[in-house]
Amino acid sequence: MGEYRIPDQLKQFVTDNTIVVRSPGRINLIGEHTDYNNGFVLPAAIDKAVYVTIEQVSGTKLFLHSVDFNETVEIELNAIKPVPGHWSTYILGVVDQFLQKGKQIGGFKLSIYGDVPLGAGLSSSAAVECAVAFALNELLNARFSRKELALMAQAAEHTYAGVKCGIMDQFASLFGKKDHVIRLDCRSLEYEYFPLELGEYVIVLFDTMVKHSLASSEYNIRRSQCEEGVMLIGQNYSSVHSLRDATIEMVNECIGEFETAHRRCKYVVEEIDRLQKGCKDLERGDLKAFGQKMYATHEGLSKDYEVSCKELDYLVEYVKQYHMVIGARMMGGGFGGCTINIIKKDLVEELVNDLTVAYLKNMGKELKHYMVNIEDGTSIIN
Ligand code: ADP
Ligand code: MG
């Protein structure tokens, strides 16, 4: 377990009987758009996190204070409801999950602070939910397992934020392990850790600073294209219930004449296979082979799955010219957000400077970047 300290921003809220929980954001090394196809993902928790302090108070009122939004919300327990778009909704959604599970909750005072950038694709919302779930679990002595907490945090996002996310983000936040990635089987929720020994390399994210409005409509279209593919394959192979069960030969045989659906399904089947091989690379400590697969993922997401955008493609194409960047790809659902890059330490400063200038000149936007280290998942730090 690493050494995690209470951030200065929360120290004023901490007394002897305050519980303090840290829950990190996450990256995903490989395995994009595979979760809803029952495949695998390969996330890791990072050194940017959300922190929550909690302590019981008498009565039935909740006092929620956000340091980052400089705002306090007071609400009666029996009056909680979703407030989509407001920071409190992620917290109240988790409270609701505990109530749904029949847990008795009394009044409490909670304060929250984080340094996971909001809306950048590092899943600050999951970090909030998991921090709150873990803190409440401790406060109430409710004894839910980490897996149960992940599912409750996901349910909170569905019901109170209105975002029908998969389980990866919450799972990664709760199950992260320093210097390891988590291979999560989205079908069974079985997981295994693989070492990510970076040596002279670091992980850097480049933030396009764009979020195209296409993202959610195209997401739904991709999901239905995958379902269409599964239906076509299922006509010949009754054992295929998701693209996880399909091989590339099946995709070619059954969907070959449907050009678009074929490309979509081919990407997914290849990506699931690529992830499995990538884990072998990590076991061997072959970071370069792993990085090549990240480039291949980007190619697939851009050309076959078509969820990239010109800004993401620009950033990946740009870094490709440096042999000291051994892997790069868009991360997340697509149409904006960040790229994830594995870069030799010696190059980082120069590359960040050059790319910032080039990005402004060619894409007309200020580039942001985040260096991330892989850290442990949710824990109590006080
Ligand atoms: P992300 O990709 O970062 O998860 P979301 O839009 O899903 O982006 O979630 C961001 C929202 O989560 C914020 O607008 C805010 O409501 C909540 N949130 C994230 N971090 C914090 C924080 N430190 N304090 C309070 N709320 C937070
Ligand atoms: Mg989110």
Domains of the chain: total: 1
Of the candidates 261, 222, 256, 221, the one whose C-alpha atom is nearest the C-alpha of residue 236 is 256
Residues ≥6 apart with Cβ < 8 Å to 363: 208, 310, 311, 314
Inside any domain, residue 105: yes
Inside any domain, residue 302: no
Q: What is the CATH number of the domain that holds 114?
A: 3.30.230.10
CA angle in degrees (0–180, nearest 5) for 31-342-328:
55
Among 22, 66, 128, 331, name the best residue to mutate to test ligand 1's pocket (greatest count of ligand atoms within 8 A of Cβ).
128
Q: What mean pLDDT comes out for the span 215-232?
A: 94
Check pocket membership of 59 for ligand 1, CB cut-off 6 A.
no
* 10-40: pLDDT as tens digits: 999 999 999 999 999 999 999 999 999 999 9
**What is the distance in A from the centroid of ligand 2 to the CA of 233?**
33
Check pocket membership of 87 for ligand 1, CB cut-off 6 A.
yes
**What is the distance in A from the centroid of ligand 2 to the CA of 124?**
6
* Residue having the nearest C-alpha atom to atom 27 of ligand 1: 87
Predicted confidence at residue 213, as pLDDT, reads: 82
Among 124, 216, 340, 370, name the best residue to mutate to test ligand 1's pocket (greatest count of ligand atoms within 8 A of Cβ).
124
CA angle in degrees (0–180, nearest 5) for 184-333-373:
60
Catalytic residues: 169
Check pocket membership of 162 for ligand 1, CB cut-off 6 A.
no
Q: What is the DSSP letter of 202?
A: E
Check pocket membership of 125 for ligand 1, CB cut-off 6 A.
yes
Inside any domain, residue 261: no
The tokens for 276 are 């499995």
Predicted confidence at residue 130, as pLDDT, reads: 99
Q: How confident is the model at residue 3 (pLDDT cuts 50, 70, 90)?
A: confident
Position 2 pLDDT exceeds 70:
no
* Residue having the nearest C-alpha atom to atom 25 of ligand 1: 87
The tokens for 163 are 């975002």
Check pocket membership of 114 for ligand 1, CB cut-off 6 A.
yes
* Residue having the nearest C-alpha atom to atom 20 of ligand 1: 124
| Dihedral sign for Cα atoms in the order 361, 328, 244, 196 | negative
CB within 5 A of ion ligand 2: which residues? 125
Check pocket membership of 124 for ligand 1, CB cut-off 6 A.
yes
Proportion of the chain above pLDDT 70, given as a percent: 99
**What is the distance in A from the centroid of ligand 1 to the CA of 105?**
24
Inside any domain, residue 141: yes
Check pocket membership of 112 for ligand 1, CB cut-off 6 A.
yes
Inside any domain, residue 243: no
Q: What mean pLDDT comes out for the span 111-123?
A: 95
Q: 108-114 and 61-66: which strand pairing?
A: parallel
Ligand nearest to C-alpha 25: 1
Predicted confidence at residue 216, as pLDDT, reads: 83
Inside any domain, residue 151: yes
Inside any domain, residue 320: no
The tokens for 85 are 């778009």
* 293-316: pLDDT as tens digits: 999 999 999 999 999 999 999 999
Predicted confidence at residue 371, as pLDDT, reads: 97
Of the candidates 87, 85, 89, 1, the one whose C-alpha atom is nearest the C-alpha of residue 45 is 1
CB 378 within 8 A of CB 130: yes
Check pocket membership of 51 for ligand 1, CB cut-off 6 A.
no
- Rounded to 10 degrees, the C-alpha dihedral 338/343/346/351 comes to -40
The amino acid at residue 201 is: Y
Position 1 pLDDT exceeds 70:
no
Predicted confidence at residue 65, as pLDDT, reads: 98
Q: What average pLDDT does the chain have?
A: 97
Q: Which domain holds residue 131?
A: 8-196+376-380
Among 46, 113, 125, 157, name the best residue to mutate to test ligand 1's pocket (greatest count of ligand atoms within 8 A of Cβ).
125
- Nearest atom (ligand 1) to Cα of 115: 23
Predicted confidence at residue 297, as pLDDT, reads: 98
The separation between the first and the last C-alpha atoms of the chain, rounded to the nearest angstrom, is 14
Three-state SS at 54: strand
* 333-361: pLDDT as tens digits: 999 999 999 999 999 999 999 999 999 99
Inside any domain, residue 84: yes
* 71-105: pLDDT as tens digits: 999 999 999 999 999 999 999 999 999 999 999 99
* 156-198: pLDDT as tens digits: 999 999 998 899 999 999 999 999 999 999 999 999 999 999 9
Ligand nearest to C-alpha 117: 1
